[in-house]
Amino acid sequence: MIKVYTTPTCAYCHALMDWLDSKGIAYREVDATKHPDITSVPVTEINGERILGFDRPAIKRALKNL
């Protein structure tokens, strides 16, 4: 399961979700404001690994382990 922690006004969050959509990668969007441990966005969680920001290389590496 891939989770993307976002806020409504985060441009990077929407860019990340657009990129995932363009690759056909399923994810669940999570409201970061309801998670006090998330202090900046976007955060992508893949298999328990949290990746801060729209870090395409890190996300691609984590996806290989799915």
Question: What is the band of 63 on the pLDDT scale with cuts at 50, 70, 90?
Answer: very high
| pLDDT above 90 (res 66) | no
**2-64, what's its fold?**
Glutaredoxin (3.40.30)
Compute the distance between CA of residue 21 and CA of residue 10 in angstroms, rounded to an integer: 17
With cut-offs at 50, 70 and 90, classify the pLDDT of residue 62.
very high
Cα Rg of the chain, angstroms = 11
Q: What is the pLDDT of residues 30-41, one digit of tens each?
A: 999 999 999 999
Q: Where are the domains of the chain?
A: 2-64
pTM, rounded to two decimals: 0.93
Res. 7: pLDDT tops 90: yes
Looking at every residue in the chain, the average pLDDT score rounds to 96
